């Protein structure tokens, strides 16, 4: 009888231990989930320019075409068939969770784009997001070396008819291999990242075609990495 009583006591203690361990395991899992949900993610600025100092910073940009800075914006001027842009002076590391964004303040020109590219003319890779005033569209384009063969409409990944050609263009690259395109903080297109590298130049560009020529103004350019 004494042995049986001891076995029952041992079994009871073992069951209590198992229950306690299970409860602690559940609590630990909940704590981990809460931590992941509410942990603070830190934004690290990789490159930014508010274009407020009256001159284009040569340590950040090199220029094609007729470009000036003033009135708190960078101004790209284009005549018929002309192309102007500002390009980061070197490729930017866009690995991990990264966002690239710029405000299109206004544009008179046919095309206005935010571009990510390897700038290899012989083997060109790029993504574009921006506006075409002739087609009256917001456009996302992808071009990978060898395909598609042409530009419009072959390279188009997304189009949406619009009457407003301004607002914030934002591209988000994720650590799990996707790229997302936003206009005024509204997601417009998402796909698996297709380019061969994330070491890319970033370009703010404009192209004029009569009668859509004149000035394109950009502001509040920023590349930031999200960590944590």
pLDDT tens string 194-209: 999 999 999 999 999 9
Spatial distance between the Cα atoms of 159 and 113, rounded to a whole number of angstroms: 13
Beta carbons of 88 and 201 less than 8 angstroms apart: yes
pLDDT tens string 104-153: 999 999 999 999 999 887 788 999 999 999 999 999 999 887 665 566 66
- Write down the pTM of the prediction: 0.80
Contacts of 198 (CB under 8 A, 6+ apart): 93, 94, 95, 173
- 61 class by beta-carbon count within 10 Å (0-12 exposed, 13-18 middle, 19+ buried): buried
Spatial distance between the Cα atoms of 146 and 123, rounded to a whole number of angstroms: 8
Residues forming a β-bridge with 44: 225
Contacts of 177 (CB under 8 A, 6+ apart): 192, 193
């Amino acid at each position: 009888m004494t042995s049986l009583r001891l076995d029952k006591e041992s079994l009871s203690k073992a069951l209590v231990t198992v229950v306690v361990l299970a409860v602690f395991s559940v609590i630990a899992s909940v704590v981990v989930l809460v931590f992941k949900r509410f942990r603070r993610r830190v934004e690290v600025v990789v490159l930014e320019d508010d274009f407020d100092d009256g001159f284009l910073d040569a340590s950040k940009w090199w220029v094609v075409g007729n470009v000036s800075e003033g009135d708190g914006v960078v101004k790209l001027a284009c005549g018929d068939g002309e192309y102007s842009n500002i390009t980061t002076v070197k490729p930017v590391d866009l690995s991990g969770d990264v966002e690239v964004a710029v405000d299109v303040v206004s544009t008179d020109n046919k095309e206005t784009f935010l571009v990510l590219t390897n700038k290899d003319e012989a083997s060109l890779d790029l993504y574009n997001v921006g506006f075409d005033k002739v087609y009256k569209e917001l456009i996302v384009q992808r071009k990978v070396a060898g395909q598609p063969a042409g530009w419009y409409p072959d390279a188009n990944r997304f189009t949406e008819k619009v009457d407003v050609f301004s607002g914030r263009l934002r591209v988000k690259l994720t650590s799990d291999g996707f790229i997302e395109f936003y206009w005024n903080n509204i997601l417009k297109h998402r796909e698996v990242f297709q380019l061969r590298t994330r070491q890319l130049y970033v370009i703010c560009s404009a192209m004029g075609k009569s009668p859509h020529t004149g000035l394109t103004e950009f502001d509040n350019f920023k590349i930031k990495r999200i960590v944590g």
